Structure 1
Amino acid sequence: MKDYIEKRVLEVAKYIIESKSTIRKTAKVFGVSKSTIHKDMTERLPKLNPQIAHEAKSVLELNKAERHIRGGRATKLKYKSL
């Protein structure tokens, strides 16, 4: 793996853990695709640092469990503003 990829993977993991950010928000911040962030967190990070990978995975699982709530809230706000 190239050095800049390793650096990005660790930076992204640190950002996700600290900010409890979703994949989409993280992708926007780092200027890469959602697929890249997902691949970084699920395939590359466990090879680089398993402990950080476990922490990041916990955050991403929590976000996944809550996504239906965020979607409902967004829909409610959309129709409330109309």
Structure 2
Amino acid sequence: MKGNMEERAVRLAQYIIENRTTVRAAATKFGVSKSTVHKDLSERLPTFNRPLYLQAKAVLEENKAQRHIRGGIATRQKYKGR
């Protein structure tokens, strides 16, 4: 999803909010890097759509708080042979 960066930032934020997904999942869905997702959401989006940025930031903060749990689950599955 190349092209208009503002439009991409809005679509990324909407996707993350609607699906309560991670940065990694959004990057895969849109075919961009995680760095691009972070830059779009943290630097570009607040300049032109602050309310949407705040909603997306809340989801990202929730994901950040839960990441140690997801990491533990992934490690457990790895050693269980899944």
* Superposition TM-score tier, normalisation by shorter sequence: over 0.9
Aligned partner letter, 2:75 = T
For the residue of structure 2 that corresponds to 1:32, the secondary structure is coil
What does 1:39-58 align with in structure 2 at a 5 Å threshold?
Answer: 39-58=39-58
**Equivalent in the alignment of 1:13:** 13
| TM-score, normalised by the number of residues in structure 1 | 0.93
Query: Is the partner of 1:77 in helix, strand or coil?
Result: helix
Q: Give 4+ residue runs of structure 1 displaced > 6 Å after superposition.
A: none
**Which runs of structure 2 are paired with 1:1-80 in the superposition (5 Å)?**
4-80=4-80
SS in structure 1 at match of 2:69:
helix
For residues 59 and 50 of structure 1, what CA distance do their matches in structure 2 show?
Answer: 15
In structure 2, the gaps of 5 or more residues are none
| Higher mean C-alpha deviation, range 70-79 or range 3-12 | 3-12
Find the residue that maps to 1:61 and give its secondary structure.
helix
| Cα deviation code 1:34-69 (max 9, x no counterpart) | 000000010001011000000000000000000000
Aligned residues: 80
Distance in 2, Cα, partners of 1:8 & 1:42 = 13
- Shift of residue 5 of structure 1? 0.9
The alpha carbon displacement at 1:81 in A equals: 1.2
Identity of aligned residues (%): 55
